[in-house]
Amino acid sequence: MQQLFISKLFKSEISQSIQDPHILRVRLLLAIGICVPILLGCAWSAYYALQTKWLLMACNLTQVALALLGMTLFNAGRDRLAAIWMAHGLFIIIATICLLDAPVDGVVRSVHMYFLPLAAGTSLVFRKDHVYLRVMLPFIMLAGCMIFGSSHMGVTRPDLIADSNIRVWGVWINYLSALGVLGVALVVMQTDLTIRHSLDAEMREALAKGHFCLHYQPQVDAQGHIFGAEALLRWQHPVRGMIPPGVFIAAAEETGLILPIGAWVLKEACAHLVALAQDPQTAHLTIAVNVSASQLRQPDFVQEVMEIVTRSQADPARLKLELTESMLAKDVDVTIQKMHALREFGINWSLDDFGTGYSSLQYLKHLPFDQLKIDQSFVRDLLTNESDKAIVETLVSLSKNLQMVLIAEGVETKEQLDYLFNKGCTKYQGYLFSRPLPIEGFEHFLATFPDSSASSELQAHTR
């Protein structure tokens, strides 16, 4: 089970964040960091094979093999793993080839120049990662460049190293390709920085001018009743149109703007709850609100949420806050306290994207969650993927044991619905019932849902 979670973690890494433009730039840089070593490695190993310089050929072939493995990981969507593999592998290969590129016969060393684009790329690719990958590794690479650039250390045996005439050309090739890739890395980094700054300014303006809005995605039970909705943030950009949260939430988290945005979302959702409470037909509905990691980490999070709910006069029992597993990795004790405080106040907790993290099982029983949401990556291939079937079955029994409500998100087909129902999952959210709707569309949906085909399907189950 644990292994299934781990394999899913890497698998879903891309799909979750594919909309984030920063991720797309990171992928571009990673693709360059994989293709350039393959091309250069193939060319040099062919040349050294002709020259019968077997050690140099072997080093270049190792580089190609390393990059091909990196490409396999990259194609499988395991970006972070591919990046870690390439950063460390290339560092070792470059250092090894540097030893075979010692200055002799007036020809300078040049292979160490590849440390520069490697350091720049590593620093950008791991910009949001922990300190070793983000800071220490690029520094080690720069130190490598300095040490090899300023010393004569290395092998000088003529049968092991390249001939001087080709090494003169090698210097040009290495400088041009290393500096070329460095230039591309710097342009990508600069673009990343500029876009982040302008995105931040635009988001501030959007918040001030009321360009954010909430869409509501209905949640349905096996009896065909709507029991609630998830509030999903949208940015109605005056030029670019409707922007989904995947594009801007990560940037808002980084700049801290997620705090006022998150407070706005909560106020808006509470106001909607109050409106729903006016009508006996809709008074029972719950609204789920996504909470970000930085919101949860705020020391006054509990107080702020209580204040917003109290001021709005919404019933806290109708409000559900959604956390993801990754947010529980840090400061678990403080998180538990905050969750309990809000639970006592009446608010319910839901664990979003359940199954995409891998250490949750240990502390799940200590956290006051009322609901588990099966991540949509498990639902997507449910009918064809045996491990997804096993995970869903395990989650059904896990939720029963922990006495938590289980809801499947991303339900798109009747076949998925049938499978989930037959396995004992009786709450659903997904395009099969409705896409997230603006408030008017949601109200219309509430009024007409019993007539929809998805609803009849559910009613057929319970007859």
Which residues bind to ligand C2E, rule: CB under 6 A? 217, 232-233, 244-246, 249, 262, 265, 290, 292, 322, 352-353, 376, 409-412, 429-431, 436
Nearer to ligand C2E, 217 or 371 (CB): 217
What is the C-alpha to C-alpha distance for residues 293 and 139, in angstroms, rounded to an integer?
29
Residue 395 has which token pair?
Answer: 């989650």
Q: How far is the CB of 436 from ligand C2E (least distance, A)?
A: 5
Question: Which tokens sit at 356?
Answer: 């995409």
Based on the shown chain and the rule CB under 5 A, indicate whether residue 352 belongs to the binding site for Mg ion.
yes
Which is nearer to ligand C2E, 82 or 382 (by Cβ)? Answer: 382
Q: 45 vs 290, which CB is nearer to Mg ion?
A: 290
The answer to the question of residue 325 lying near Mg ion (CB under 5 A) is no
> How far out from the chain centre does Cα 333 lie?
25
Q: Which are the contacts of 343, defined by CB distance < 8 A and separation ≥ 6? A: 349, 368
Distance of alpha carbon 201 from alpha carbon 77, whole angstroms: 31
The letter for the amino acid at 175 is: Y
Closest chain position to ligand C2E (CB): 430
Place of tokens 């079955």: 393
DSSP H or E segment with residue 157: none
154 binds, among ligand C2E, Mg ion, none (CB under 5 to 8 A by kind): none
Stretch that binds Mg ion, among 36-44, 158-166, 346-354, 438-446 (CB under 5 A): 346-354
Binding of Mg ion by 290 (CB under 5 A) = yes
Q: Shortest approach of ligand C2E to residue 208 CB, angstroms?
A: 18
Based on the shown chain and the rule CB under 5 A, indicate whether residue 322 belongs to the binding site for Mg ion.
yes
Is residue 353 near Mg ion by the rule CB under 5 A?
A: yes
Measured CA to CA, the distance from residue 426 to residue 18 in angstroms comes to 30
For the bound state, the minimum distance from the C-beta of residue 215 to ligand C2E, rounded and expressed in Å, comes to 7
Residue 89 touches which of ligand C2E, Mg ion, none (Cβ within 5-8 Å per kind): none
Question: By CB under 5 A, is residue 295 in contact with Mg ion?
Answer: no
In the complex, the smallest distance separating the C-beta of residue 377 from Mg ion, rounded to whole angstroms, is: 9
Which pair of structure tokens corresponds to residue 305?
């949420």
| Rama region for 381: left / alpha / beta (φ>0; ψ in -120 to 50; rest) | alpha
Distance CA 342, CA 374 (A): 23
**What's the min distance (Å) between Cβ of 184 and ligand C2E?**
30
H or E segment and range at residue 350? strand 348-354
For the beta carbon of residue 281, count every other beta carbon within 10 angstroms: 9
Closest approach of Cβ 412 to ligand C2E, in Å? 4
Which of Mg ion, ligand C2E, none does 233 bind, CB closer than 5 to 8 A by kind?
A: ligand C2E
Q: Which is nearer to Mg ion, 13 or 353 (CB)?
A: 353
Binds 431: which of Mg ion, ligand C2E, none (CB < 5-8 Å by kind): ligand C2E
> Which CB atom, from 147 or from 370, has the smaller least distance to ligand C2E?
370
What CA–CA distance (Å, rounded) separates 74 from 301?
Answer: 38
**241 bridge partner residues:** 237
Q: What is the DSSP secondary-structure string of 349-406? A: EEEEEETSSSSHHHHHTTS--SEEEE-HHHHHTTTT-HHHHHHHHHHHHHHHHTT-EE
Strand, helix or coil at 426?
coil
- Nearest distance from C-beta of residue 26 to ligand C2E, angstroms: 19
Nearer to Mg ion, 245 or 316 (CB): 245
Decide: residue 379, CB within 10 A, 0-12 exposed, 13-18 middle, 19+ buried: buried
> d(Cα 273, Cα 236) in Å, to the nearest integer?
22
Q: Which does 430 bind (CB under 5 to 8 A by kind): Mg ion, ligand C2E, none?
A: ligand C2E
**Which residues, in sequence order, are CB contacts of 317 under 8 Å at separation 6+?**
346, 347, 348
Q: What angle do CA 96, 102, 105 make, to 5 degrees?
A: 155
Which residue number, 122 or 356, has a Cβ lying nearer to Mg ion? 356
Q: How far apart are the first and last CA of the chain?
A: 34
Question: Which range binds Mg ion by CB under 5 A, 42-50, 92-100, 258-266, 290-298?
Answer: 290-298
455 binds, among ligand C2E, Mg ion, none (CB under 5 to 8 A by kind): none
| Least distance to Mg ion, CB of residue 223, Å | 23
Shortest distance in whole angstroms from residue 352 CB to Mg ion: 4
In whole angstroms, how close is the CB of 155 to ligand C2E at the nearest point?
A: 53
Q: Which helix (H) or strand (E) holds 205?
A: helix 164-209
Residue 292 as a binder of Mg ion (CB under 5 A): the answer is no
Residues at the contact surface with Mg ion, assessed by CB under 5 A:
290, 322, 352-353
